[in-house]
Structure 1
Amino acid sequence: MSVLYVQSAVIVRPGKKPDRYGNEQDDWGEAATRTPVDQLSIQPSGGSREDTSDKQVTVTGWLLISAPGTMPDLRETDRVEFDGLVCEVTGKVGRWPVPAGVRHIEAELKEVS
C-alpha cells in the first residue's frame, strides 16, 4: 500500500423513518449504518469560507480519494467521519474505471462548523 493512502474513515448512511405525516425522512441516529473504510487520502480542497450573514459559519472543503484498486461504497447521500470531523458528500461520487474494473473513487466533501 502506498504511503499516500493511510487514512481511515467511517461512511455513515442514513436510515429511514416516517415523520409525523408519514413521509420518509433521513435518520442519522440509531437507524444509520456505519461502515469503516481504509486506504484513503483525505486532503483539504478549495479552502474555507466564512458566512456571517445570519450566524458565524465556516465551511471547509475536502477531497477524498481511495487507493488504486479500491472502490468503497460511497454515495452522494452519505456522510463521512474522519479525524473527529463529520462531512457531507457534495455532488456525485467520481468512479474512475479502467478496463479491468474500477480503479478508484473521488468525492468532494464539506465540513460545516
Structure 2
Amino acid sequence: MLFTQIVTVVRPATVTDEYGNRTPDWTAATRATVSGVNVQPQGGGSEDTDDRQITVTDWRLYTPRGMDLDLRESDRIEAGGMTLQVTGKVARWPAPGGGVHHIEADLKEVD
C-alpha cells in the first residue's frame, strides 16, 4: 500500500521583470495531477525563532519502480493539504538496461 497517494505538480510560468530577469510567476502556474506516488516525512523538523516562530518539515517523494515523473527542482508539490517546495535536484535512479528505475525528490514544507 505504499504508492497510493495522489499529488499535484505545480509548475510556475516565467515572466521577465523590468530588469530583464526571468522570475517564477506562481499565479499563472500549471497543475498536473499524478497518482501512484508516496510522500513520507524525512528526518526531523526545525524551528527558527529569530523573528517569528516557524516549523520546517522535510518530506520525500518516491515513485514506484518504472515510473518517471516530469518533476523539476523549480516545481512545487501539493499533497495532503500541504504545499511543498522541491529542494535540490530530483534523483532519477537508473534501471538496469536503461531508463529510470524510480525517482526520489526532497521536499520542504514551511509552516
* TM-score (norm: length of structure 2): 0.93
1:85 corresponds to which residue?
A: 82
Alignment partner of 1:42 out of 39, 42, 62: 39
Displacement of 1:109 after TM fit? Answer: 0.3
Q: What is the CA RMSD across the aligned residues, in angstroms?
A: 1.1
C-alpha displacement of 1:18: 2.3
How many Å separate the matches in 1 of 2:51 and 2:18? 29
Long gaps (5+) in structure 2: none
Whole-angstrom distance in 2 between the partners of 1:24 and 1:74 = 20
Aligned residue in 2 for 1:109: 107
CA deviations on 1:24-83 (whole Å, 9 max, x unpaired) are: 2100012x1111111111000011111111211110000100011111111111111001
Q: 1:23: how far off?
A: 2.4
Aligned residues: 110
CA distance in 1, matches of 2:52, 2:81: 23
Q: Percent identity?
A: 51
Q: Structure 1: state its 5+ residue gaps.
A: none
TM-score by length of 1: 0.91
Q: CA deviation at 1:95?
A: 0.4
Q: Secondary structure at the match of 2:37?
A: strand
**Which residue number in structure 2 is paired with residue 59 of structure 1?**
56
